[in-house]
Structure 1
Amino acid sequence: MNLTAAQHDRSAGVLLGLACGDALGAGYEFAGPLPDTAPVSMRGGGGFHWAPGEWTDYTAMTVPLAVAAAAGRDLRDESVLNEIVAQWVNWAKSAPYAGTQLGAVLSGSEPTAAGARRAAREQHERNGRSAGNGSLLRTAAVALAYLDDPVALAETARRVSELTHCETDASDACALFGLALRQAVLEGELDIRAGLPTLPSERREMWTARFDDAEHKRPADFPGNGWVVQTLQAAWSAITHARATDAGQVRRAIEAAARGGGDTDAVAATAGALTAARWGLAAVPTAWRHLVQGWPGLGGVDLVRLSMQAAHRGEAGEVGGAVADEVGRRRTVKLRAVR
């Protein structure tokens, strides 16, 4: 897709904003809410002893999708999904934490897309639900890959979500998140409701009420934010209440999400991806860009390149390459390890 310079910049920030929110939120996960004035930082720690700047499972599971999209591969192709699931299963063997639903699916399935779907259905039937937020953030890679096709974006977001999560709430949330990211990149607008017309009327009304509720409450008012619905609500609340009409909204929204308590890495990652998609690469604080890092040995500059290449089906372009170079010197990494 041919992007303008402004769209280039906005696409470049998506995965970086996600990862920075993830890494900052990781240090506050499952702690109680904090006062609005409490300082927060990318300190690491938390229940799983993250290193400062280290991202969690949310970004880690996004990386294989982003690598495939950056290579110009079709994320609807079952053979591509087989490779991605195999990488997830391999990652889960040493991951500190992969969530209840994800952990069960990835530890109990054969490393194929069909095996993951089967394990997801079995886990869903065992527990009676599977609408956690484990599939939400990886939709960012899907959004970048299908900026030119909103129908394919929504369909693929659902298909990728259903590899591990069976409930309609989860697939709805992924479609809505992906289409909101697309709106932010292409139009420079933050609109969580952009994808509502793609839903059946009864579900459209339900999600409209949910977003209305989010705009009238604080992030801390959604303590069940491990549920994908409340993840989106808390993130949208953080964005709405980080009242800003400038690039500072990225930092303010991520920090507000982290102060909300609960599943702070997921909520802050959602807020970070959406606001960075709106305000672009330069809006992500410089210190965060250089500190953020994680599985499988990537840093912020690598996520920027993956974002731009995914948005161009493998071609970063001259503008994109120049933007990426501004992030800092490329770290020595082995992208083949995630292919």
Structure 2
Amino acid sequence: MLQFPSPYDKTLPEKIKIVRPSPDSLDSTIANRCIGSLIGLAIGDALGAGVEFCSREDLVKKPVEDMKTGGTWNLKAGQWTDDTSMSLCLASSLITQKGFNLYDQMVRYKWWYKHGFLSSTGRCFDIGNATRMSLKEFQRRQNVLKKDRQLRVDLEVDQLPLEVIKKQKFDVFCGSPGSAGNGALMRLAPVPLFFYQVPTLAVEYSGQNARLTHGNVRAVDACRYYGALIAAVVRGESKEQLLNDKFYDDHKSWFGTKPLDASIMEVASGSYKQSKGYDDGIRGAGFVVQSLRAALWAFWSTDTFEDGVINAVNLGSDTDTTAAIYGQLAGAYYGYSSIPEKWIKKLYARDLIVCMAEWLQALSYSKNVETASSQEASATQMESKDELERFDDTH
């Protein structure tokens, strides 16, 4: 089993020991899509990192074509930012817990924020304001819990069993109702990759993960919709089906009783299909609706992973996140085998990312197949359903 180091060890991702799942536990076609999604996210992030915050005008004059050293964060070519770090934190939780544990997910995001856990540089950087504020609130709530339980150190409260968290009525949702940025959408992929066999859970849990740090309905529903798209890709749906303006109607049973917010429904109905791209209003901005439109435009308007990710980056502004969001879907659709080798070779900690994607597929949740720790996974899912009911009452 793949093991993750303590956040206090300061172990860099490239130094984590790679332990791959048994080949018998993998379906080669599904694995190609899962690896493509996680690697696609990281490559988009790495390509955009060097020009993050650059204007469209600057990128028209000098467009991004490859990974380069330096730039906004002075990274080495192939290193990635918060998008990939948070996605790997999420993946590490799903793998370690063998299920969906919202508290553990927030703990790992906190480890990244405080200790540089699963950061390409060993430190937290490029964190969004909404995410920072939600993690500070989570720490505040943990400190109350720590005092109530008379615990001595942070790691003790971090490792509390789910039953205790539930008994204490600990509220894991720390996102502000006004937080409508793209910081949840950028990290999403591990959830639908893990739950693709049960699309209703893929959609539900995509929204719940968003609420940990982003409480606005648009951020939540962007993740529900995109989670459905990624699950559909892994399940083998065609590009034509994914980009059909009636995708939501055709998959309505996946979304339960809660319809998509009107702003996300507009995107799902094809508002991103703008032939002139930037000149038609497509923007690589931090607002989640714009990010969603931009990523889907890049996917719709091109026929290869390479062309789409380059177009996503060169929209300007929030370049790494637009490309990371694109990469999750496009990487799954085109598959790992279709992503340019020149970028895979440069990508920081690529072996770890591949390994984690394989474990997501090997452990992927099925209502017909129990994992080795089915009781733990079941308890985690019951907790999530309880939280979902509360969400439905307040959404």
- Same fold by TM-score, threshold 0.5 exceeded? yes
1:107 & 1:92 partners in 2: Cα distance? 15
Cα deviation for residue 39 of structure 1 reads: 4.8
1:209 — aligned with what? 266
Match runs of 1:45-56 below 5 Å: 45-56=70-81
Identity over aligned pairs, percent: 25
TM-score with structure 2 length normalisation?
0.68
Give the one of 343, 354, 357 matched to 1:307.
Answer: 357
Q: Secondary structure at the match of 1:137?
A: helix
**Structure 2 vs 1, CA of residues 306 and 235 (structure 1 numbering), >3 Å: closer, same or farther?**
same
2:91 — aligned with what? 66
Work out whether residues 85 and 116 of structure 1, in 8 Å CA contact, stay in contact via their aligned partners in 2: no
Give the one of 98, 105, 108 matched to 1:84.
Answer: 108
2:50 — aligned with what? 27
Give the one of 155, 164, 173 matched to 1:117.
Answer: 173
Post-superposition Cα deviations, 1:272-312, rounded to whole Å, max 9, x if no partner, equal 1211101111111112112112xxxxx11211111121112
Work out whether residues 180 and 195 of structure 1, in 8 Å CA contact, stay in contact via their aligned partners in 2: no
1:202 & 1:149 partners in 2: Cα distance? 19
1:209 & 1:258 partners in 2: Cα distance? 23
Match runs of 1:185-334 below 5 Å: 185-190=234-239, 191=242, 194-195=247-248, 197=252, 198=255, 203=260, 206-211=263-268, 212-220=270-278, 221-223=281-283, 225-242=285-302, 244=303, 249-293=304-348, 299-313=349-363
Work out whether residues 251 and 285 of structure 1, in 8 Å CA contact, stay in contact via their aligned partners in 2: yes
Cα deviation for residue 98 of structure 1 reads: 0.3
Give the one of 132, 146, 164 matched to 2:195.
Answer: 146
Gap runs ≥5 in structure 1: 294-298, 316-339
Work out whether residues 30 and 263 of structure 1, in 8 Å CA contact, stay in contact via their aligned partners in 2: yes
Work out whether residues 52 and 317 of structure 2, in 8 Å CA contact, stay in contact via their aligned partners in 1: yes
2:220 — aligned with what? 171
Cα deviation for residue 83 of structure 1 reads: 3.5
Post-superposition Cα deviations, 1:115-143, rounded to whole Å, max 9, x if no partner, equal 6634x33xx4xxxx201000112210111
Work out whether residues 177 and 192 of structure 1, in 8 Å CA contact, stay in contact via their aligned partners in 2: no
Work out whether residues 194 and 364 of structure 2, in 8 Å CA contact, stay in contact via their aligned partners in 1: no
Q: Secondary structure at the match of 2:183?
A: coil
Work out whether residues 182 and 288 of structure 2, in 8 Å CA contact, stay in contact via their aligned partners in 1: yes
Cα deviation for residue 102 of structure 1 reads: 1.0
Letter in 1 for 2:132: G
- Greater CA drift, 177-186 or 227-236: 177-186
**Structure 2 vs 1, CA of residues 39 and 266 (structure 1 numbering), >3 Å: closer, same or farther?**
closer
1:89 & 1:115 partners in 2: Cα distance? 19
2:69 & 2:181 partners in 1: Cα distance? 23
Q: How many residues align?
A: 297
**Structure 2 vs 1, CA of residues 116 and 291 (structure 1 numbering), >3 Å: closer, same or farther?**
farther
1:95 — aligned with what? 124
**Structure 2 vs 1, CA of residues 132 and 219 (structure 1 numbering), >3 Å: closer, same or farther?**
farther
Gap runs ≥5 in structure 2: 1-23, 118-122, 143-157, 159-164, 366-395
Cα deviation for residue 15 of structure 1 reads: 0.6
1:253 & 1:86 partners in 2: Cα distance? 32
**Structure 2 vs 1, CA of residues 6 and 107 (structure 1 numbering), >3 Å: closer, same or farther?**
same
